[in-house]
Structure 1
Amino acid sequence: MTTTPARERTRHEIVRQAMGLFQDRGYSAVSLQDIASAAGCSKATVLYHFNGKAAVLAAVLEPAAADLAALVAAADQLSRAAAQEFAIGEFTDLAVRYRGVMDVVQELIPFIQEMPELALLVADGIRLKGFLAGSDDPLEQDLAGFALNGLTAECRHADGRTDEELHRLCEAALNRLFRPS
């Protein structure tokens, strides 16, 4: 039987508690001391594991960011039309799977580009927007940005929808916007 070292357990608990706090209160309203108290450790322990609150946030967002990076890398290997279709389905899956993360990200939109810890996530989000647009047309690009913001907000406030219902809604919305019949 293998056990997880105490340092890894502590780091994991900090990330887990931070996610809950960011969802409940919003990123801006949570302090490092709040995270430490929730995780049952000192603020110094949080700072031992992370170089500030933005680094904690990056760790919270890391699984979703890694999946988004994989989506973008896979879409990059496809034709424009195939990449668009792939991006629509895969983004919908990510948006539903990471509903809680979407809640946190939505608050960050106005200042996310000022956070160097999230630079790769932002870059991949911009590339995703291009894949969804399926075109270099500025109007289509703006529409894709609008769709991304709207769907992240819908996932944030899903009004009691199940994951399956939310998935169908998001996929239908993206298909109607970008692949009208």
Structure 2
Amino acid sequence: MARVVPETHAEILAAAARRFAASGYKGTSLQDIAREVGVSKATVLYHFANKEALLTELMAPGFAALHELDDRFAGLTGAGAQRVAGEGFVDLAVRFRRKIALLRGEFPELLQQPAFAHVQQISERLIAALAGHSTRPAARIAALVVLAGIAETCGEFDDVADDELRDALLGLVRRALAPPD
């Protein structure tokens, strides 16, 4: 009986997600992904121009949600910006926690890639909103710690239900961020 070779786009994406989770983005080659799917590297390259294109498509739903969040807090100031940014980022991080976990430890380096440049820009606006647009260093430091901590925490607690994780993170955000000036 001939083996059926799974050559679908979705199967390659799923294998890439598993490999990135197990070995990291840098530690995974296109050959590793091809081997896991049971296809040639050429088949992977037929579907994706390169490894960066594969990662970009894998992260596209999260990127779209991040852009939507950016639009929601754009133009808000003070406590309004802080609330929308905090609640929105917690929701986004919980919803996409498995994809965020794929990038753990490699995120700063990945932000240097052209496909991720917009994420760095949105992150800077998100930090400003979480700080309530305060110029006080303590407010910006707290915002950065909250942002990084939420992303790291979501990847660590796979066994916690979404609602429970969301409630815990929102409580933390409210305690960690001082009301804006």
> Under a length normalisation based on structure 1, what TM-score does the superposition of the two structures give?
0.85
The structure 2 residue matched to 1:99, chosen from 94, 97, 100, is 97
Letter in 1 for 2:140: Q
Letter in 1 for 2:57: A
**Residues of 2 paired with 1:105 and 1:144: CA distance?**
21
Counterpart of 1:39? 37
1:159 positional shift: 6.3
1:113 positional shift: 2.8
Counterpart of 1:176? 175
Counterpart of 1:30? 28
**Residues of 2 paired with 1:15 and 1:122: CA distance?**
24
**Residues of 2 paired with 1:20 and 1:73: CA distance?**
31
Q: SS of 2:34's equivalent?
A: helix
1:179 positional shift: 4.5
Counterpart of 1:156? 155
User: Identity of aligned pairs, percent?
Assistant: 36
Is the deviation greater in 166-175 or in 71-80? Answer: 71-80
Letter in 2 for 1:33: Q
Q: Which runs of 5 or more residues in structure 1 are unaligned? A: 1-8
**Residues of 2 paired with 1:44 and 1:159: CA distance?**
34
- Aligned 8 A contact 1:33 1:43 in 2: yes
Runs of 4 or more off by more than 6 Å in structure 1? none
Change (3 A) 1:80 1:41: farther
Structure 1 or 2: more helix by fraction: 1
- Aligned 8 A contact 1:27 1:107 in 2: no
1:96 positional shift: 0.8
Counterpart of 1:21? 19
**Residues of 1 paired with 2:20 and 2:38: CA distance?**
17
Counterpart of 1:76? 74
**Residues of 1 paired with 2:13 and 2:124: CA distance?**
26
* Superposition CA RMSD, Å: 1.9
> Under a length normalisation based on structure 2, what TM-score does the superposition of the two structures give?
0.85
- Aligned 8 A contact 2:15 2:36 in 1: yes
Q: String of CA shifts for 1:19-41, please: whole Å, max 9, x gaps.
A: 12212222122111111222333
Q: String of CA shifts for 1:137-180, please: whole Å, max 9, x gaps.
A: 33322221111111111111116321111111111111111146
Counterpart of 2:3? none
